[in-house]
Amino acid sequence: MILKKLKYTTLALLITSAAFAGNKDRSGQSGAGELLLNPWARSSGLFGLNCANVSGIEAMKCNIAGLAKTTKSEIGVAHTRYLSGTGMSINNVGIAQNLGDVGVLGVNIMSFGFGEIPITTEDSPEGGIGDYKPTFLNFSVGLGHTFSKNMTAGLNVTYVNEAISNIKASALGFDAGVQYTNGKRDNFHIGITLRNVGTNLRFSGDGFSFNGTSPDFAKELTTQSRSEKFSLPSQLNIATAYDFYLDEPKGAAGPESVETMPKHRLSAMVSFISNAYNSDWIGVGAEYAYQEKVMLRAAYRYESKIGDKQENSTFYTGLSAGVTVQTKVSSKENAPKLSIDYGYKPTRIANGVHVIGLRINLGNAKSE
């Protein structure tokens, strides 16, 4: 019964997403912009274009349906130098566990650091009175389930918390996604995901209080102002991917072995993303893998006026690239796999976005 509800809820959320349309005029009007950042290195190297074929713990920040492809357990950590040189960073940790017929349960924690920021006031506009550290924390719990040989789906909920010393806000965001796979080697992929639909974000706290006097100046008053509500940055992603095996054996008979398995994979990806609070964009990407041990990837995303330094609404150049080195920790057939990932996105300001990650896969999930 629970799984049926999961399936129908996922489909309902995705159907309602048809009303989405990008609106660059609303840029900057949403809250919790960190929900649009992908803290995982593999996905960052593809600019998040792997919505159709992402699998494992990374799916929680891309397309939750891919979480269902975790065959046993997976643990991952990642660190991002965001706009390198500014002191901003992202730390991320995730774990996924296959629960059998129920599906795969995933937990992801992401924190955004801004470094130390000088405190300034009307009386001390130059600072010198101390520093403060904003705290942005996202805690996600997701469930992915395999409904058939060809289709997986999932739901994810994220608790968003943003705070400084005397102001804070929180909200809940929900994601839903489906993936469809077909082909001789399950090499044709379609993915659809709707992300960040949830409650409004409203800031409150002593930071909105100020002292004044009554109209007759008879007594002092403390007044509390109210913050505006901010919607979450909802986003719809529709993607497809195809895996080309460059050395596919022809006319091979009998069961496939390690020797007859293709060694060279080239995956091509196309993705369209519609943003409720920014411009829509489309992207293309590719990943080459040798024996699923070394993977090279690159992508390009295009949005209106991205090449115009005056009119563009993003500091990204549109390019991204990454690499993965993956190996078994022992010679046993079902030995855990250790992966080291790196992703890079150049930017028009600062020194780009650098992401490095480490993952341990205790099962035989497909590496994508």
- What are 270-302's pLDDT values in tens digits? 999 999 888 899 999 999 999 999 999 999 999
The whole-model pTM stands at 0.85
Q: Alpha-carbon distance 299 to 286, whole Å?
A: 6
Does 8 score more than 50 pLDDT?
no
User: Of 328, 239, 329, 260, which Cα lies nearest the Cα of 292?
Assistant: 328
Does 193 score more than 90 pLDDT?
yes
Burial 181-220 (b: 16+ CB within 10 A, else e): beeeeebbbbbbbbbbbbeebebeeeeeeeeeeeeeeeee
Does 158 score more than 80 pLDDT?
yes
pLDDT in tens, 69-78: 999 999 999 9
Task: Quickly state the pLDDT bin for 218 (edges 50, 70, 90).
Answer: low
> What is the reported pLDDT for 145?
97
Average pLDDT for 95-108: 97
Percentage above 90 pLDDT, the chain: 60
Task: Quickly state the pLDDT bin for 255 (edges 50, 70, 90).
Answer: very low
Report CA-CA distances (Å) from 143 to 3, 90, 93, 100: 10, 24, 17, 12
pLDDT in tens, 324-334: 999 998 888 78
Does 308 score more than 60 pLDDT?
yes
> What is the reported pLDDT for 365?
47
pLDDT in tens, 27-72: 566 888 999 999 999 999 999 999 999 999 999 999 999 999 999 9
> What is the reported pLDDT for 221?
63
Percentage above 70 pLDDT, the chain: 81
pLDDT in tens, 108-153: 999 999 888 888 877 777 777 888 888 899 999 999 999 999 999 9
Instruction: Return mean pLDDT, the chain.
Output: 86
Domain 2-199+232-361 has CATH 2.40.160.40: yes
Q: Could you tell me the residue ranges of all domains in the chain? A: 2-199+232-361
Quick one: tokens of 138? 């996202």
> What is the reported pLDDT for 75?
97
Alpha helix segments (H runs only) across the chain = 2-16, 41-45
Measure the CA angle with vertex 360, ends 359 and 363; round to 5°.
Answer: 130
Q: Alpha-carbon distance 112 to 162, whole Å?
A: 10
